[in-house]
Amino acid sequence: MHISVVGSGYVGLVTGTCFAEFGVDVTCVDNDARKIEALERGKIPIYEPGLEELVERNIRGGRLHFTTDLKAGVEKALVVFIAVGTPPREDGSDDLRYVDEVAEAIGRNLNGYKVVVTKSTVPIGTGERIRGIIQRNNPNGVRFDVVSNPEFLREGSAIEDFMHPDRVVIGADSDQAVAIMRDLYAPLYLLETPFVITNVASSEMIKYASNAFLATKISYINEMAEICERVGADVHHVAKGMGLDKRINPKFLHPGPGYGGSCFPKDTSALVQIAGEHGYRLRIVEAVLAVNQERRAAMTAKMHRLLPDFSGRTIAALGLAFKPNTDDVRDSPALDILKGALRDGARVRVFDPAAMETSRPVLGDERVAWCKDAYDAAQGADLLVIFTEWNEFRKLDLDRLKSVLAAPRIVDCRNVYDPEQMRAAGFEYLCVGR
Ligand code: NAD
């Protein structure tokens, strides 16, 4: 089988590469010529553990190809995945302009029956919209099916998530399309991965409902953390006690600066919008969004408790990505909070193991020092803030850190350290929910 994946970003590149690894002949298409040129040389434009080796291996195996030529990509393929970005618009709804562009181009270049699959996260009803766009651009009436196949991978563990998903969701209205999708996913099917076969609208909804639920868990434990701080409870013990209940499950019960990244903030806002368009107010998800937004101010307030006036003072930041093991800084709490500190006159010294290049256009260079490691960032700082729990920040040499900081003050937004140990080591130390 030959497939094409249009959009070679975090999702498209992993999808295309993993299908190639399953033995499928894959063409990854992107309209960013620089990206495609790098990929053809086996260089990946993002940080994703294990992906570069997999890309190289499948290029060498002749199963993975890259092109900017969407026409060529579409013509060869039986299945065409749409995996372009769906960024948020000002009002929180998803911007479907890239999806529309690709659907139009697919319509113009249909040269035989194809299954057009939406991998991008798209509002409910987009499958129908894509069908309409392709039909209008397909004067010869070539037959095609539209399928929804949302992606649940997490950046940082994307390959493992793709290869061993909890489930594969397929939304389709045609038996032929379902059979082709099952065939494509056969290696997972044989591993007994559960498949949810449903209609297109339900499949599109599953993605938003899942992400909004996970975001709800995060905002929920963050609110519990607020109460824990006020009543002398330890949110980690509370989360453990809750999570051992199988109905609750321990995942996504980690307090912190709130969720960020390219999915949860966008998908929760979009779901509120979608509900509104259909005359329903989604009060729970609205509250989740509001709580999440307040987390950033709550972290800044903690920083102010240790350093009341930021003006002219130096803040060291460990971690810029919205979570470890990625260079993705889209809607990262760290960058938002640091931009606020810079506006208040602070100087910042920053270090992230993977996200320096992606953060630079956001923070700029004025009063920002781009450091080579955690100790370099801490050099002469009046306050150190741990924003992202990269493993390399978990076992810092505390004596060395204390000796390079101008004052031993730490705000640990991810609860990486033990408060008692930190206080015993002579730090003024604040963390979350304990
Ligand atoms: P991304 O920005 O990393 O990648 C999108 C790619 O599409 C870019 O390389 C861009 O150049 C390309 N593109 C845009 N218009 C194009 C066009 N007309 N023709 C060809 N290529 C085009 O985005 P992403 O993070 O991979 O997300 C893609 C979709 O998957 C989004 O809808 C997102 O919500 C969803 N999603 C993302 C994740 C994640 O963890 N990043 C997880 C699940 C779902």
Q: Report, as an integer, the average pLDDT of 24-45.
A: 96
Q: Report the percentage of the chain scoring pLDDT > 90.
A: 98
Q: Report, as an integer, the average pLDDT of 185-189.
A: 93
Q: Probe ligand 1: pick from 5, 10, 68, max atoms within 8 Å of CB?
A: 10
| pLDDT score for 189 | 85
Closest CA to 219 of 245, 269, 178, 256: 256
Which residue's entry shows tokens 């969720």?
Answer: 259
404 pLDDT band (50/70/90 cuts)? Answer: very high
Q: Give one DSSP letter per residue of 193-253, joined into a string.
A: --EEEE-HHHHHHHHHHHHHHHHHHHHHHHHHHHHHHHHT--HHHHHHHHHTSTTT-STT-
317 pLDDT band (50/70/90 cuts)? Answer: very high
pLDDT digits (tens, 9 = 90+) for 233-261: 999 999 999 999 999 999 999 999 999 99
Distance separating alpha carbons of residues 119 and 178, to the nearest angstrom? 15
30 pLDDT band (50/70/90 cuts)? Answer: very high
| pLDDT score for 191 | 85
Give me ligand 1 centre to Cα 6, in Å: 9
Query: What contacts 142, CB < 8 A, 6 or more positions away?
Result: 110, 111, 112, 113
**b/e 56-95 (16+ beta carbons within 10 angstroms → b):** bebbeeebbbbbbebeebbbbbebbbbbbbbebeeebbbe
| pLDDT score for 413 | 98
pLDDT digits (tens, 9 = 90+) for 53-73: 999 999 999 999 999 999 999
pLDDT digits (tens, 9 = 90+) for 268-284: 999 999 999 999 999 99
- Examine the pLDDT at 392 and tell me if it is beyond 90: yes
- Examine the pLDDT at 3 and tell me if it is beyond 90: yes
pLDDT digits (tens, 9 = 90+) for 199-236: 999 999 999 999 999 999 999 999 999 999 999 999 99
Structure tokens at 155: 């950046």
- Examine the pLDDT at 411 and tell me if it is beyond 90: yes
Structure tokens at 111: 């040269």
pLDDT digits (tens, 9 = 90+) for 340-386: 999 999 999 999 999 999 999 999 999 999 999 999 999 999 999 99
Distance separating alpha carbons of residues 227 and 45, to the nearest angstrom? 42
| pLDDT score for 75 | 96
Give all strands (DSSP E) within 58-118, no chain letters. 64-67, 79-82, 114-118
Mean pLDDT of the chain: 97
| 112 dihedral zone (left: phi>0; alpha: psi -120 to 50; beta) | left
Distance separating alpha carbons of residues 13 and 46, to the nearest angstrom? 10
Give me ligand 1 centre to Cα 120, in Å: 7
Q: What is the pTM of this model?
A: 0.96
Pick the catalytic residue from 263, 371, 413, 431: 263
Whether residue 413 lies in the annotated active site: no
pLDDT digits (tens, 9 = 90+) for 277-303: 999 999 999 999 999 999 999 999 999
Q: Report, as an integer, the average pLDDT of 169-193.
A: 95
Give me ligand 1 centre to Cα 36, in Å: 14
In three-state secondary structure terms, 64 is strand
| pLDDT score for 338 | 98
389 pLDDT band (50/70/90 cuts)? Answer: very high
Length of the chain, in residues? 434
- Report residues whose beta carbon is within 6 angstroms of any ligand 1 atom: 6-12, 29-32, 35, 70, 83-86, 98, 101-102, 120-121, 151, 153, 155, 262-263
Q: Report, as an integer, the average pLDDT of 412-423.
A: 97
